[in-house]
Structure 1
């Protein structure tokens, strides 16, 4: 029986990309005084009207306690606010600060996106996005 070439599988390719993107973003983010973890937190808060630390941790696939320091740092930098939940006073809801300037971080993301899709047609990108979303559904439905 012939052995399968690991590099011919899709999972290693996705894994390589998921490691490479943060590596390439780390230096530009450091220049604007934000870590990759802080960036991920801020990114997930965009469009949220208030999310608990516990729910944010689930989205990031980390423990809520892991986020405590990063949340405090982001609060100190003026990126996020904590507000007591009107429903449960024991829960703090996290929101993006209205005055947070994310323009430089946005430029970094758009630059990374441009590098990522360089030489790939719009049609191929539409197919890729659709297929990746379907793969996510396939796997997330098994959790």
Structure 2
């Protein structure tokens, strides 16, 4: 498309999609940060917070707070890893499982809206182009795929503790956290990013 700024168009589309998802789950009080975790667990349960950070390139501290909120609301629970009793894995509760059909219906509805008027060939080409663009930007091909992936949080376990073990999460006092980060999850910085300011972009 002549003159189009692709990054801007992708950003606008992403914001619009996020707003539709939040609106679709509004009656359950699920915000922008929460739905990403629920979507991930609907695809694959029994993962640790570190797994989610690495596969979705999220900030560990922000993710720990989102998981804590979902626990408080009764949608997510932590269970001991059978191979390491100190390590916790994330699962949907019965209340979380009850949302699965609604989440799957919402995702299918948004997919149809996103590609309305596309032919099947155009849908396939669109999906392939998005996948290629993600790979160009270093995003894992499938966020829910098996095996460890590059692109984990640049903050690392030593700064924020191990969120998968008892007492893990973000040990920083409240005054050192970004007070504007209430719902979104931060995207982890690359290892060569030198800006010291915290990034908490709602996704």
TM-score, normalization: structure 2? 0.58
What whole-Å deviation, never above 9, does each CA across 1:18-73 have from its counterpart, x for those lacking one?
11111222222112332221111011112324211122123333322212332233
TM-score normalised by L of structure 1: 0.79
Q: 2:26 matched to which residue of 1? A: 30
Answer yes or no: is the 8 Å Cα contact 2:39–2:103 preserved in 1. no
1:95, 1:25 → 2: CA distance? 21
What's the CA shift for 1:98?
A: 5.7
Does structure 2 conserve the Cα–Cα contact (< 8 Å) formed by 1:84 and 1:92? Answer: yes
Paired position in structure 1 for 2:114: 116
Residues 1:132 and 2:124 aligned together: no
1:20 aligns with 2:16: yes
Q: 1:81/1:114 Cα in 2 relative to 1: closer, same or farther (>3 Å)? A: same
Q: Which runs of 4+ in 1 moved over 6 A?
A: none
Q: Deviations over 1:72-128 (max 9, x none)?
A: 332344432211123333321112336611222222222222221111111100011
Aligned length: 138
After TM superposition, the structure 1 stretch with the greater mean CA deviation from structure 2, 111-120 or 58-67, is: 58-67
Question: Is the alpha carbon distance of 1:15 and 1:111 closer, same or farther for their aligned partners in structure 2, counting shifts above 3 Å?
Answer: same
Query: 1: CA distance between counterparts of 2:65 and 2:105?
Result: 26
Structure 1 unaligned residues grouped into runs of 5+: none
Task: Give matches, 1:60-99, under 5 Å.
Answer: 60-97=56-93
CA contact (8 A) 2:22 2:35 kept: no
Q: 1:32 to 1:105 in 2, by over 3 A?
A: farther
Structure with more relative contact order (C-alpha pairs < 8 Å, separation 6 or more):
2
Classify the secondary structure of the residue corresponding to 1:81: strand
Whole-angstrom distance in 2 between the partners of 1:92 and 1:46: 18
